[in-house]
Chains A and B, each alone.
Chain A
Amino acid sequence: MSIIVGYVPTAEGTAALDRAITEAHKSQTRLVIINSSRGDAIVDKRYAQAADINEVTQRLEQAGIDHLVLQPVRGNDAANEVLEAAEKYRAELIVIGLRKRTPVGKLIMGSTAQQILLEASCPVLAVKAGA
């Protein structure tokens, strides 16, 4: 069993990670961190760089949580990567961060959060930044 968290180096991503650490601490399960990029742009600010990942792993080591950091670049959407990991690592909970979106924006661009909420087979915890 494990807890999956979708992580991006933004305020929402950090909020989700904080909450996921709390949850993993409570239930003493492994925490799987997913940070993916489609890898089709030269620069993707949602893809965490080495320094950022080091910071995260250090935090987890200090907290004494069994963890796994995955950064798949396979051309898939972030939602698919999270759902696939949830299957693979038998997730008991998925934690994601929500950002402010307009309905039109969602209609045009789709929503990663929505896809995870609808398609996940385990409970999903959606966290907002600054809350």
Chain B
Amino acid sequence: MDILSSLMDGFATALTPMNLLYAFIGVLLGTAVGVLPGIGPAMTVALLLPVTTVLEPTSAFIMFAGIYYGGMYGGSTTSILLNTPGESSSVITAIEGNKMAKAGKAAQALATAAIGSFVAGTIGTTLLVVFAPIVVQFAVSLGSPSYFAIMILALLAVTAVLGASRLRGFASLGLGLAIGLVGIDSVTGQRRLTFGQPLLADGLDVVVVAVAIFAVGEALWVAAHLRRTPLQIIPVGRPWMGKQDWKRSWKPWLRGTALGFPFGALPAGGAEIPTFLSYVTEKRLSKHPEEFGKGAIEGVAGPEAANNAAAAGTLTPMLALGLPTNATAAVMLAAFVQFGIQPGPLLFANEGPLVWALIASLFIGNTLLLLVNLPLAPVWAKLLRLPRPYLYAGILFFATLGAYAVNLQAFDLVILLVLGALGFLMRRYGLPVLPLILGLILGPRAEGQLRKTLQLSAGDVSGLWSEPIAVVVYIIVALVLAWPLLAKLWRRLRPRTAGLVLAGGPAVEGPAAGPAAAPAVEGPAAGPYLSPAVEAPAAERPADAGRRRADATHANHGEENP
């Protein structure tokens, strides 16, 4: 039981008073940013990266883990009380959660979300403990060709599956890869995209880019839409659940967990698709289908469990392979690099104590979240009364400070502003931010593997598919890319196949069709608050982000399906 003893050592590290304090800070911060629409855990981790350089890596990661899990929790509060998802993974929660709150059951909705998140997070973290070492054993045997193929899959899948349009996704990915190329090539020493500027020879610091795109871009975007009619928040006391609620919640929790974890672990799985699938599943299995759309507790319990399990699932490839599948994991990966830790399959071997302390802190953070969130829900709701200028002034201050602190170069501030403007434009034209960040972080690593592969095969291109795993992965890549075409053909051959018919919408034929079918679901008013930077399902992100209706109080309730 080598794993158990490692985990116990991890607990010993994570339970020191100092690390407990960092876990607590992380949990509080994470919940706060989860509650506030438009500010996510990815942005928070990016902002805190420069600040954490003085900390022990273990403490920093314990805090980041708290922020990550907390963000998932916080998003549900806003979804339920305000019908405005604080996080993209909470979009589905708003459908039933807000209806419950309007029916006077806000306390039960919050409770089932919090307890479901705890259950899913704990099970998910346990699965992480079980699977990560297995994945590592498998990963150690992989050569460069397979690694390169898997990275290509992750990049393409995230870009193709998420977001409103593939074109926008790939444009964003291209930007990220281009930014990742800047600097001196490590193999030949050539300057790439430096424009004769010696300050660019080292490349662009990931922290600066991430902070610019997330924080500065978001702040500019919010500034451009500063005035909004305030929304109505449903007052709430302390969350609690009755016997009947428990009875109706526990199965959805477990099913949501089962859906969320694998999707989180897959490249491009993310948390949105499993929450959607969980909702649909609960709707079909429910003994009270008539309550769906009017505030069914299963419709909150399932998706909330799914998004927390997905969060745990995401960490499996992140820790075992060094492969991030969402924005927060990508920024955490950048943090590893910043602390001089090599992410990848050797992480468990080289940095065992750190990794196990991090995993142990996930268990601790989950428990803390439950203790913090059950009594504090009304306090979190108060956070929404903070005027945006105060909030974003603080964010911009931290962003600038952080960007300058990385290298103490004023030039980095210029980069920050230029890329911040780029982040603003991306939001304006509905380009998803995640592919850019993934391209920036995975691009250079994928290139390294490509170079290695070609060096090993003496420049022969066939070296790329010299390993069976690589071949399999490339076939999956081809399927992912050809999926819309195949789906189209499929529909043409078998018009209106049986499937899940949602609220009179189109039939759904599988996970990849999920987000596309989402418009048929009664969506929450994502409105202006969920900036397009948040990777919301297509339904919540109209193609033209710049001209969305500001009227979030009168949600379009999906009855007007064409």
Contacts and interface: CB of A to CB of B under 8 A. Distances in A.
Interface of A: 37-45, 47, 49-50, 71, 73-75
Contacts of A43: 82, 230-233, 381, 384-385
Contacts of B230: 37, 39, 41-44, 47, 73
A125 B84 CA distance: 39
A8 to B, nearest CB: 12
B227 interface: yes
B31 to A, nearest CB: 16
Nearest to A75: B227
Nearest to A42: B384
Nearest to A45: B385
A40 B231 CA distance: 11
B219 to A, nearest CB: 13
A47 B232 CA distance: 9
A38 B231 CA distance: 13
Given A39-B226, A41-B230, A43-B231, 6 more contacts: A37-B230, A41-B384, A41-B386, A45-B233, A45-B385, A73-B229
A41 B233 contact: no
19 contacts: A39-B227, A39-B230, A40-B226, A41-B384, A41-B387, A42-B82, A42-B228, A42-B230, A43-B231, A43-B232, A43-B233, A43-B381, A43-B384, A44-B230, A45-B233, A45-B385, A49-B232, A73-B227, A73-B230
A71 B227 CA distance: 13
Given A44-B385, A45-B385, A39 B229 contact: yes
Given A47-B230, A73-B227, A75-B227, A40 B389 contact: yes
A42 B84 contact: yes
A71 B389 CA distance: 21
B275 to A, nearest CB: 22
A41 B82 contact: no
B251 interface: no
Contacts of A45: 233, 385
A73 B228 CA distance: 7
Contacts of B389: 40
B228 A39 contact: yes
B385 A37 contact: no
Nearest to B229: A73
Contacts of B226: 39-40, 75
A41 B229 contact: no
B309 to A, nearest CB: 28
Contacts of B548: none
B35 to A, nearest CB: 10
A128 to B, nearest CB: 24
Contacts of A39: 226-230
Contacts of B227: 38-40, 73-75
Given A73-B229, A75-B227, A40 B388 contact: yes
B94 to A, nearest CB: 14
| Residue from B84, B381, B385 with most neighbouring chain A CB atoms (10 Å) | B385
| Residue from B84, B227, B553 with most neighbouring chain A CB atoms (10 Å) | B227
B214 interface: no
A47 B387 CA distance: 14
A47 B553 CA distance: 13
A80 to B, nearest CB: 14
| Residue from A43, A44, A49, A75 with most neighbouring chain B CB atoms (10 Å) | A43
A27 B231 CA distance: 36
Nearest to B386: A41
Contacts of A41: 230, 384-388
A23 B381 CA distance: 38
A34 B389 CA distance: 24
A90 B495 CA distance: 66
Contacts of A42: 36-37, 82, 84, 228, 230-231, 384-385, 388, 529
Nearest to B230: A44
Interface string B76-97: 0000001010000000000000
Contacts of B553: 50
Contacts of A75: 226-227
A108 to B, nearest CB: 14
Nearest to A37: B230
The 8 closest A-B pairs by CB, nearest first: A44-B230, A39-B227, A43-B384, A47-B230, A49-B232, A40-B387, A42-B384, A43-B233
Contacts of B232: 43, 49-50
Nearest to A39: B227
Nearest to A52: B232
A44 B82 CA distance: 12
